[in-house]
A and B are shown apart, each in its own frame.
Chain A
Amino acid sequence: MLNYNSPINNQINFNEITVKELSPVMKLNLRGKKREFFTTVGKQLDMILPTEANTSSSSSKLTSIWLSPDEWMIVSNENIEKDTNKYPLEESLYNSISKTNLGAVVDVTDQIVLFELEGSKIYELFSSGSPFNFNDFKEKKGSTTQTLLNNIDVTIHNKGENLVNLFVRRSFSEHLYSWINDSASRL
């Protein structure tokens, strides 16, 4: 088992909002824009990368999140084995994409922390610290956005009614988590 420190030491548990860390979850960053890139990734992931802005696509094992017109984040839906830093999917994508200069594959599993927020007041919490308009976002399952929350870059993924995944850089995660804890206590 690799030495892995969680950025949080307690689960946030209020009446209408709960927050916990989902870990270990594989996260890969994919970049590319050539046509062969899309066909190769489609075959490897058994899933088409979303080309529409602020959306995601899912298969039984993976979710791909649109980050920009030539950038996506691939996230495993289930927890993974954390005995090693190597993932078969990363290796096969690296061999077929990075090595052939079709694009770039970067493992960001340990760079990015994933929080799961659940409850009827999560969008009130976001509104207290983000300039993003969540009105359309919360109605559409699968929608994603990259924005600021308490001046920290975050990626938010709508998983269902009152359930979102929030991705944040590890170095900001502890600070963001304590801000969420503080803000959620005042809602």
Chain B
Amino acid sequence: MFLINCPYCGERDQHEFKAGGEAHIERPKQPTELSDDEWAEYLFMRKNIKGVQFERWNHAHGCRKWFNMVRDTSNDQIKLIYKMGEKPPSE
């Protein structure tokens, strides 16, 4: 069990949240001009690294807002939480 600091509601238990996958993946502006491989790269391929990762999370059982989180996947340590639309910190 660990606590997540929702940027809107404050500190809550992890069970109130849902993970939403990797953050800051930009949708290609002209999908029709992409090859199948490039489209598949955008749709399916994720870094899934062991270490510091940028993720989207949703406070599903609270305010239902999405936000971004920088988390170390090896030890679940949360480095930073910031709102949607804010720029990610430089790695």
Residue numbers of A with Cβ under 8 A of B are 53-54, 67-69, 71, 131-133, 145-148, 153
> Which residue from A67, A131, A132, A133 sits with its C-beta under 8 Å from B63?
A67
Q: Which residues of A contact B9 (CB under 8 A)?
A: 53-54, 145-146
A132 touches B10 (CB 8 A): no
> Which residue from A69, A131, A145, A148 sits with its C-beta under 8 Å from B65?
A69
Chain B interface, DSSP helix/strand/loop, else mixed: loop
The yes or no answer to B16 lying at the interface (CB within 8 A) is yes
0/1 interface trace, chain B 1-30, chain A, CB 8 Å (1 if under): 100000011111101100000000000000
Q: Which residue of B lies closest to A131 (CB)?
A: B13
> Which residue from B10, B15, B63 sits with its C-beta under 8 Å from A148?
B15
B63 touches A69 (CB 8 A): yes
The yes or no answer to B64 lying at the interface (CB within 8 A) is yes
B15 touches A131 (CB 8 A): yes
Q: How far is the CA of A69 from the CA of B12 in the complex (A)?
A: 17
Q: How far is the CA of A4 from the CA of B63 in the complex (A)?
A: 30
Q: Which residues of A contact B15 (CB under 8 A)?
A: 131, 148
B10 touches A153 (CB 8 A): no
The yes or no answer to B87 lying at the interface (CB within 8 A) is no
Q: How far is the CA of A153 from the CA of B60 in the complex (A)?
A: 9
The yes or no answer to B61 lying at the interface (CB within 8 A) is yes
The yes or no answer to B62 lying at the interface (CB within 8 A) is yes
Q: How far is the CA of A183 from the CA of B64 in the complex (A)?
A: 28
Q: How far is the CA of A69 from the CA of B65 in the complex (A)?
A: 9
* Chain A proximity of B83: nearest CB distance (Å): 10
Enumerate the 9 nearest inter-chain pairs by beta-carbon distance, A residue then B residue, closest first: A131-B13, A68-B63, A146-B62, A148-B61, A131-B15, A53-B9, A153-B61, A69-B8, A53-B8
Q: A69-B65, A71-B63, A132-B13 are in contact. List 20 more A-B contacts (CB 8 A).
A: A54-B9, A67-B63, A68-B63, A68-B64, A68-B65, A69-B8, A131-B1, A131-B13, A131-B16, A132-B12, A145-B9, A146-B61, A146-B62, A146-B63, A147-B16, A147-B61, A147-B62, A148-B15, A148-B61, A153-B61
* Chain A proximity of B68: nearest CB distance (Å): 16
Q: Which residues of A contact B11 (CB under 8 A)?
A: 133
* Chain B proximity of A167: nearest CB distance (Å): 13
Q: How far is the CA of A13 from the CA of B15 in the complex (A)?
A: 31
Q: Which residue of A lies closest to B15 (CB)?
A: A131
